[in-house]
Copies of this chain bind each other. A is one copy, B any other.
């Protein structure tokens, strides 16, 4: 009758609570034949093999030899499953920065670890993010990133903003390169031929007098040479770190 009020407003889904180890199995009833981690692992396996679009409740159930609806005893909804997939998909964070590393070296290492995860599991990019991180490993990644800034004189709010800036960049860059790979596979051409083909198409569409800057970019052949995607990533990351460095220097002075 009385509303069951928890301490704080938004309620954590049961499956997430169990990911934090906050849930004990009630003693009654038949023994569960699956577990949340089993299901999440199966879903991750499907996503690794056939992409996020292949992850349907029935497909995951088939992977486990169970019935579709059986899964709903463990996860409250597909969205909840996706959240847990992200958590285990990222895997453990890279650990705190080495003692001898300055903030820039530390963040660079952290950024490359994040980058590597997204390169290995591009489906992570297709999971619609529905809120700030609340799963254990997600927060672990955040923690390790924040630690890189421990020795700086930035305010706590600035540290989080900085980290947000970097994660956003990494995600974005990964998204773009993943799109090129997926797009080329869909079009049935070599990944290296994707951007040149795009370049030709745009060149055919635009009027050079109305799009002079764009035309100059195309004429320079920027999109035709397939440079190392890692160089592209490094370029943007260094720009951002330069910007942060300027801020840190100003704060230190």
Seen from chain A, the residues whose Cβ lies within 8 Å of a Cβ on chain B are 7-10, 12, 20, 126, 128-132, 134, 139-140, 142-143, 146-147, 149-150, 155-162, 164-165, 168-169, 171-173, 175-176, 179, 183, 187, 189, 193, 195, 197-198, 200-202, 204-206, 210-214, 216-217, 220, 222, 232, 235-236, 238-244, 246-247
Closest 6 CB pairs of A and B: A243-B243, A168-B172, A146-B213, A156-B220, A239-B243, A242-B243
CA distance A58 to B57 in the complex (A): 25
CA distance A192 to B238 in the complex (A): 34
Contact B143 A8 (CB under 8 A): no
CB distance from A124 to the nearest CB of B (A): 14
Q: Which residue of B lies closest to A223 (CB)?
A: B160
Contact B169 A165 (CB under 8 A): yes
**Which secondary structure dominates where chain A touches chain B?**
helix
Q: A240-B239, A247-B242 are in contact. Are A222 and B8 (CB under 8 A)?
A: no
CA distance A216 to B173 in the complex (A): 30
Q: Which residue of B lies closest to A144 (CB)?
A: B213
CB-defined contacts of A217 to chain B, threshold 8 Å: 146, 156, 159-160
CB-defined contacts of A128 to chain B, threshold 8 Å: 126
Q: Which residue of B lies closest to A8 (CB)?
A: B200
A-B residue pairs in contact (CB < 8 Å), sample of 19: A7-B204, A8-B200, A8-B201, A8-B204, A12-B205, A130-B183, A134-B198, A134-B201, A143-B210, A143-B212, A146-B213, A147-B212, A149-B213, A156-B217, A157-B222, A159-B213, A165-B236, A168-B169, A168-B173
Name, among A143, A175, A179, A212, the residue most crowded by chain B CB atoms within 10 Å (CB to CB): A143
CB distance from A134 to the nearest CB of B (A): 7
Name, among A12, A140, A201, A210, the residue most crowded by chain B CB atoms within 10 Å (CB to CB): A201
CB-defined contacts of A235 to chain B, threshold 8 Å: 158, 161
CA distance A130 to B178 in the complex (A): 10
CA distance A9 to B199 in the complex (A): 11
CB-defined contacts of A236 to chain B, threshold 8 Å: 161, 164-165
CA distance A214 to B159 in the complex (A): 10
